[in-house]
Amino acid sequence: MFLDVSDLCKSFPTATGRLDVLRGVSFGLQRGEALALTGESGSGKSTLMHLVGALDTPDSGHIRLDGQPVPGRDDRAAAALRRDRIGLVFQQFNLIPSLDAGANLAFQARLAGRHQAGRCAELAQALGLSDCLERYPEQLSGGQQQRVAIGRALAAGPDLLLADEPTGNLDEDSSETVLDLMLALARDTGAAVMMVTHSGRLAARLDRRLHLSHGKLA
């Protein structure tokens, strides 16, 4: 099993006491598999994504990637893992405003020391971005910004692509197009994909679907 999540628990303090967000979640993901994670708002989808991506630390349970424990958020190894092996795509894009689209697309690959100009050019062409690489994020449409974010996540050749509502800001037709591109490019690199989505229609396009309800897999 490439990604192994076992008995994962996570809670947060609130003014009225502890809120249990994840309560014993277990699942696995194979190399090259695309998994959709669905559930109502507040079910723990984004929390689970952040734990798998080493952006937060579970209270208990374990996460192993390729047989190795995923480090906690404050561990220096967590930053190295995200840089070298995990691609992250967020609903809000998180592009760097001071960099043009081409530099944003190449950003993670440069950090990982795996930047290849030809690879970035191929990604830009596949994503329909070749004519706007010199534009800055504020000069791009929402769909173009999301394509840059997807290209950035894939340019370094990650082993695992984590996408949190990657088409949440797009209309239905654009969502279909962006999802097709993301999955095709992930297949080309052999990356496993875990995608959070509210859309059953989009979830059905992936290999497998898990549904979270009240912090547990339904």
Q: What integer best gives the mean pLDDT of the chain?
A: 92
Residues in the chain: 218
Q: Residue 136 CB: number of other CB atoms within 10 A?
A: 16
- 66-89 confidence digits (pLDDT tens): 999 998 777 789 999 999 999 999
Token pair 């949190």 in the structure block, residue: 164
Q: How confident is the model at residue 158, as a pLDDT?
A: 93
- 109-145 confidence digits (pLDDT tens): 999 999 999 989 999 998 889 999 999 999 999 889 9
Q: How confident is the model at residue 198, as a pLDDT?
A: 87
Tokens of 3: 């990604």
- 47-61 confidence digits (pLDDT tens): 999 999 999 999 999
Domains of the chain: 3-217 (3.40.50.300)
pTM of the model: 0.91
Q: Which one-letter DSSP state was computed for residue 110?
A: H
3-state secondary structure 180-218: HHHHHHHHHHCCEEEEECCCHHHHCCCCEEEEEECCEEC
- Alpha-helix residue ranges (DSSP H) falling in the chain: 45-52, 76-84, 101-111, 117-126, 142-155, 172-189, 200-203
Per-residue confidence band for 28, with pLDDT thresholds at 50, 70 and 90: very high
Query: What's the order of all strands across the beta sheet hosting 208-213?
Result: 86-90, 160-164, 192-196, 34-39, 208-213, 216-217
User: Rounded mean pLDDT of 148-175?
Assistant: 87
